[in-house]
Structure 1
Amino acid sequence: MNGFSPHTMKTAPEGSRDGLREVEQGLGFIPNMMAVLAESPAALDAYQGIHAAFARSSFSAAEQQFLALSVSICSECYYCVPVYSLFAKKAGVPEEVINAVRDGKVIRDGRYSALRSFAAAVIKKRGQVSGAEVDNFKDAGFTKAQVLEVIIAAAFKLISNYTNHIADIPLDEAFQSFLWKEAKAA
């Protein structure tokens, strides 16, 4: 784990304990990624703050989870892909859509397909998407506000994806059934 270890409520810096308590209340446990992120109260607070802002976005709950999954796939995050596969399933994203994005295959649902395509463009091009890509996203029924909200998703997932890459965090048992091996994107 490159010198990083998951914190417990007892070992976490005082400034991270409220954030960890909030996670534990919401999920019933503290995922390893959050327990490692707790090393820096500022990092944990930033992640939770951006996540809270994204949760207030105009995307549906299913679209939010799918977007987090799509961004994590683009970032090749071995940890977040299983996490958001489970969360997407719980939020009602159709199983065939989850499987398609995880496997790098064509998504038949036009809205989810457009969401994945635009998110992938934002991540791969580091935000330097073309006007045509923005127009295609809006033509699929998304708004200008949602263009900006994709950036929020990218920012919140960047924190967790990069933390996982740097700290080599072990996947929690709760997410093992969604273990992921990178696939080529469609």
Structure 2
Amino acid sequence: MSILPVQTIETAPQASKPHLEAAQKDYGFIPNLTAVFANSPAMVEAYGALAGQFEKTDLTPTERQIVLMTNNRLNECTYCMAAHSTMSQMQKVPADVIAALRDGTKIADPKLQALHVFTESVNTARGHVAQADIDAFLAAGYTEANILDVILGTGLKTLSNYTNHIADTPLDAPFQPNAWEAPIAIENTATSAKALGEASANWA
């Protein structure tokens, strides 16, 4: 259950209502993340504007999803991984690319893999990317402008991923077939269960 209200067109602040109405028109429903954003008219407007600008880059739909989903995985955002898996399918992103992004494994296409790796570097290094990583990205066929495009997509995902972490945004029904759990969370759960079992044995 979200700790922030999941707004509706009726309950949202007046300045947020047009953004919810637009989402309803575009998707046929109001995604819960948009409804949570609507608590702040500034946030819901900013996210929509930034997303619109990201779509204007010369990155292809597949490349944009690589940037977004790589950040979703590294930031362990279960909501956005499910949502963007669904969007990627709708945009005809190859199934093997979607699987690699969800699992954090290598993408077969060398250029797309270079984008994947560079995006990881931007995220994990907090922008302090090694020159060798920049050179490899450019050598793969990307441009200096694309460096900034990756940063733009990373900023976009910071807004959504962090909001979902705090709000615990409930997953919408259309995204549930692509529900995702962070591997590290699975590993930690298994480790905790093992530790608990060992502790229980010691107590017995």
Question: 2:101, 2:160 → 1: CA distance?
Answer: 19
Q: Which amino acid is the alignment partner of residue 53 of structure 2?
A: A
Question: 2:183, 2:111 → 1: CA distance?
Answer: 21
Q: Which amino acid is the alignment partner of residue 49 of structure 2?
A: G
Question: 2:50, 2:101 → 1: CA distance?
Answer: 24
Question: 1:8, 1:2 → 2: CA distance?
Answer: 14
Aligned to 1:12: 12
The C-alpha deviation readout for 1:29-63, integer Å capped at 9, x for no partner, is: 11001101100000111111111110111101221
CA contact (8 A) 1:65 1:91 kept: no
Aligned to 2:199: none
**What's the offset of the Cα at 1:142?**
0.7
Aligned to 2:121: 121
CA contact (8 A) 1:70 1:101 kept: yes
Same amino acid, percent of matched pairs: 39
Question: 1:2, 1:95 → 2: CA distance?
Answer: 31
Question: 2:93, 2:183 → 1: CA distance?
Answer: 20
Aligned to 2:24: 24
Q: Any gaps of 5 or more consecutive residues in structure 1?
A: none
CA contact (8 A) 1:23 1:29 kept: yes
Aligned to 1:172: 172
Aligned to 2:193: none
Aligned to 1:141: 141
CA contact (8 A) 2:3 2:168 kept: no
Question: 2:138, 2:161 → 1: CA distance?
Answer: 27
Aligned to 1:86: 86
Q: Which amino acid is the alignment partner of residue 157 of structure 1?
A: K
Q: Which has the higher helix share?
A: 2
Greater C-alpha radius of gyration? 2
Q: Could you state the TM-score of these two structures normalised by the residue count of structure 2?
A: 0.87
**What's the offset of the Cα at 1:75?**
0.8
Please give the root-mean-square deviation of Cα atoms over the aligned residues, in Å.
1.2
Aligned-partner SS, 2:183: coil
Aligned length: 184
Q: Any gaps of 5 or more consecutive residues in structure 2?
A: 185-204
